[in-house]
């Protein structure tokens, strides 16, 4: 195993627990090949950890351990076992994010579990190189009857010079699954669906909609397959509009309403959310509850100001569309927007809509997306449950 040395004045972050080392922090980066495991030393030649490198990527090293140990099958198995033990403690049904990359100290790997179907993203060169080992570890832990789907279409892979590809190891699997969350059943096809198939990160937040659902008119904007709106229906909403720009996900949301035998009034609207809110702001009947759960607006730090303007505009229309005294669940899943900035954005949006609000609760990612306290990048989901006055 090769040694890797940090440049002078680049020691502090990695020594303090941060798991990434950038290409400009490394001495002699040309010395290494993609996916190689390296021993990392600070500029005073003291050992600080074991990690893997891709010299072609801006985030060149991801630290795997602070101990000088072998990175082998049992290392990967122990990391997955420890992540599994946490999920088994937290959830009584096997539907969750089983492994959350840096949040579970196994950078580059995401595994979502839908009972005996495992949807995996291998987002770095090292993770891809160890694909067979990761797959075998899952067979060892869960038996040979499980199916594994490689949802390797995350654009992060391009930064690692990896191709984008989605495949099911069981070739007969057509992608259809039914998952369970908050005692609600949801159908989706994980081969066609977004990301790993479902957004487990909002599970705890979706529970909070139960407080304000009874007899309410709810709008689930950016609905995907309907998670928020289905929770509202379960807790007595009288009417739910599901709004998304994808007809496929709206078709799933519709199936999910039937699957759970919900009989309240529902509508499935294929439309840009801002256009929908602009129309709604002119309507007499305004919703009691509005969910705003958009995709990440900030794709890179450089575009942050543009994205902030986008969030302010979106939330301004949310404020203009809600009933007086109504409730908004508003979220951002952009890792570059921190919680304080998000409150600032919502204040700016309220001001430009001429509205006031109270914060009832902050919203964050679910327990199966643990936050690494040394890496703000793992703390990506921010939200507010507010009442508009
Ligand atoms: C983060 S996902 C929503 C997740 C969902 N709320 C949940 O909890 O399962 C974002 C959704 O917004 C949709 N979307 C993206 N841009 C949109 C737009 N401008 N108007 C309407 N829908 C949009 C995507 O199709 C996707 O389903």
Q: What's the whole-number mean pLDDT along residues 189-210?
A: 97
Q: What's the whole-number mean pLDDT along residues 71-78?
A: 96
Q: pLDDT tens digits, residue range 210-224? A: 999 999 999 999 999
Q: How far is the CA of 220 from the centre of ligand 1 (A)?
A: 10
Q: How far is the CA of 364 from the centre of ligand 1 (A)?
A: 18
Cα separation, 293 vs 321, whole angstroms: 15
Q: pLDDT tens digits, residue range 254-309? A: 999 999 999 999 999 999 999 999 999 999 999 999 999 999 998 777 889 999 99
pLDDT of the residue at 239: 98
E-strand ranges in the chain read 2-5, 20-22, 36-41, 47-53, 59-65, 95-100, 109-114, 117-122, 147-152, 165-168, 176-181, 184-189, 217-221, 239-244, 265-270, 289-292, 327-332, 357-364, 382-388
CA torsion sign, 8 to 12 to 13 to 19? positive
Q: Of all atoms in ligand 1, which is nearest to the CA of residue 273?
A: 20
Q: How far is the CA of 293 from the centre of ligand 1 (A)?
A: 7
* 61, 20 contact by CB (below 8 A): yes
Atom 27 of ligand 1, residue of closest alpha carbon: 224
119 pLDDT above the threshold of 80: yes
Q: Which of 277, 296, 176, 293 is nearest to 223 (CA)?
A: 293
Atom 19 of ligand 1, residue of closest alpha carbon: 272
Per the DSSP assignment, residues forming a β-bridge with 112 are: 97, 119
Cα separation, 216 vs 238, whole angstroms: 5
Tell me how many helices (H) and strands (E) the chain has. 11, 19
Are β-strands 176-181 and 382-388 bridged in parallel, bridged antiparallel, or unpaired?
unpaired
**CATH no. for 2-65:** 2.30.130.10
Neighbours of 302 (CB within 10 A): 9
Query: What band does 152 get if pLDDT is binned at 50, 70 and 90?
Result: very high
pLDDT of the residue at 257: 98
Q: Which two tokens stand for residue 104?
A: 């579970």
Q: pLDDT tens digits, residue range 3-50? A: 999 999 899 999 999 999 999 999 988 889 999 999 999 999 999 999
302 vs 232 pLDDT, higher one: 232
The region, left, alpha or beta by phi > 0 then psi within -120 to 50, assigned to residue 298 is beta
Q: pLDDT tens digits, residue range 314-351? A: 999 999 999 999 999 999 999 999 999 999 999 999 99
Q: Is the CB of 136 under 6 A from ligand 1?
A: no
Share of the chain above pLDDT 70, in %: 100
pLDDT of the residue at 241: 98
Q: Is the CB of 181 under 6 A from ligand 1?
A: no
Cα separation, 148 vs 98, whole angstroms: 13
CATH class, 73-173 region: alpha beta
The DSSP line for 245-296 is S-HHHHHHHHHHHHHTT--SEEEEEES-HHHHHHHHHH-SS--SEEEE-PPP
Q: Is the CB of 313 under 6 A from ligand 1?
A: no
Q: How far is the CA of 178 from the centre of ligand 1 (A)?
A: 20
Q: Is the CB of 275 under 6 A from ligand 1?
A: no
Chain-centroid distance, C-alpha 214: 28
Q: Of all atoms in ligand 1, which is nearest to the CA of residue 223?
A: 6
Q: Which of 56, 148, 55 is nearest to 109 (CA)?
A: 148
Cα separation, 94 vs 253, whole angstroms: 21
Q: How far is the CA of 359 from the centre of ligand 1 (A)?
A: 24
**CATH no. for 179-388:** 3.40.50.150
Residue 192, CB half-sphere, CA atoms under 13 Å: how many?
A: 16
Q: Where in the chain is the domain with CATH 2.30.130.10?
A: 2-65
Atom 20 of ligand 1, residue of closest alpha carbon: 272
377 pLDDT above the threshold of 80: yes
Q: What is the dihedral of CA 205, 211, 213, 219, to 10 degrees?
A: -40
Q: How far is the CA of 42 from the centre of ligand 1 (A)?
A: 43
Atom 15 of ligand 1, residue of closest alpha carbon: 295
Q: Is the CB of 335 under 6 A from ligand 1?
A: no
Cα separation, 253 vs 285, whole angstroms: 23
Q: Of all atoms in ligand 1, which is nearest to the CA of residue 294?
A: 10
Are β-strands 117-122 and 147-152 bridged in parallel, bridged antiparallel, or unpaired?
parallel
Q: What's the whole-number mean pLDDT along residues 230-241?
A: 98
In testing the pocket of ligand 1, which one of 196, 224, 364 has its CB within 8 Å of the most ligand atoms? 224
Cα separation, 380 vs 341, whole angstroms: 12
Q: What Cα–Cα distance (Å) separates residue 312 from each residue in 282, 362, 382?
A: 19, 18, 15
Q: pLDDT tens digits, residue range 361-370? A: 999 999 999 9
Q: What is the pLDDT of the chain when averaged over all its residues?
A: 97
Atom 8 of ligand 1, residue of closest alpha carbon: 227
Q: Of all atoms in ligand 1, which is nearest to the CA of residue 222?
A: 12
Q: How far is the CA of 233 from the centre of ligand 1 (A)?
A: 19
Q: pLDDT tens digits, residue range 45-66? A: 999 999 999 999 999 999 999 9
Q: Which of 121, 133, 193 is nearest to 157 (CA)?
A: 121
Q: How far is the CA of 270 from the centre of ligand 1 (A)?
A: 11
Q: Is the CB of 293 under 6 A from ligand 1?
A: yes
Atom 13 of ligand 1, residue of closest alpha carbon: 222
Atom 2 of ligand 1, residue of closest alpha carbon: 295
Q: What's the whole-number mean pLDDT along residues 102-131?
A: 98
């Amino acid at each position: 195993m090769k040694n890797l040395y940090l440049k002078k004045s680049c020691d502090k972050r990695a020594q303090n627990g941060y798991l990434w080392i950038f290409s400009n922090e490394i001495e002699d980066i040309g010395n290494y090949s993609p996916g190689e495991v390296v021993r990392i030393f600070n500029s005073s030649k003291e050992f600080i950890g074991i990690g893997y490198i891709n010299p072609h990527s801006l985030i060149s090293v991801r630290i795997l351990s602070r101990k000088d140990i072998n990175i082998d099958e049992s290392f990967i198995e122990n990391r997955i076992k420890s992540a599994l033990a946490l999920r088994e403690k937290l959830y009584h049904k096997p539907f969750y994010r089983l492994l959350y990359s840096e949040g579970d100290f196994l950078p580059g790997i995401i595994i979502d579990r839908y009972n005996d179907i495992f949807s995996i993203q291998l987002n770095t060169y090292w993770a891809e190189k160890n694909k067979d080992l990761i797959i075998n570890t899952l067979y060892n832990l869960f038996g040979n009857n499980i199916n594994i789907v490689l949802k390797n279409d995350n654009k992060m892979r391009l930064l690692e010079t990896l191709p984008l590809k989605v495949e099911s190891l069981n070739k007969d699997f057509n992608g259809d699954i039914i998952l369970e969350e908050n005692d609600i059943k949801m159908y989706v096809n994980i081969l066609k669906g977004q990301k790993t198939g479902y957004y487990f990160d909002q599970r705890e937040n979706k529970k909070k909609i139960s407080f304000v659902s009874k007899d309410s008119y709810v709008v689930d904007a950016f609905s995907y397959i309907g998670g928020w709106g289905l929770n509202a229906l379960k807790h007595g909403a009288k009417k739910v509009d599901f709004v998304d720009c994808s007809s496929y996900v709206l078709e799933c949301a519709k199936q999910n309403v039937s699957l759970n035998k919900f009989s309240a009034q529902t509508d499935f609207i294929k439309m840009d959310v801002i256009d929908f809110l602009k129309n709604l702001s002119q309507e007499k009947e305004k919703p009691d509850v509005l969910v705003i759960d958009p995709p990440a607006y900030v794709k890179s730090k450089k575009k942050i100001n543009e994205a902030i303007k986008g969030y302010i505009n979106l939330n301004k229309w949310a404020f203009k569309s809600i009933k007086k005294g109504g409730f908004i669940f508003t979220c951002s899943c952009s890792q570059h927007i921190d919680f304080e900035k998000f409150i600032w954005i919502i204040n700016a949006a309220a001001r430009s809509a001429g509205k006031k609000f109270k914060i009832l609760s902050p919203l964050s990612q679910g327990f199966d997306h643990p936050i690494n306290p040394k890496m703000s990048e793992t703390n990506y989901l921010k939200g507010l449950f507010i009442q508009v006055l």
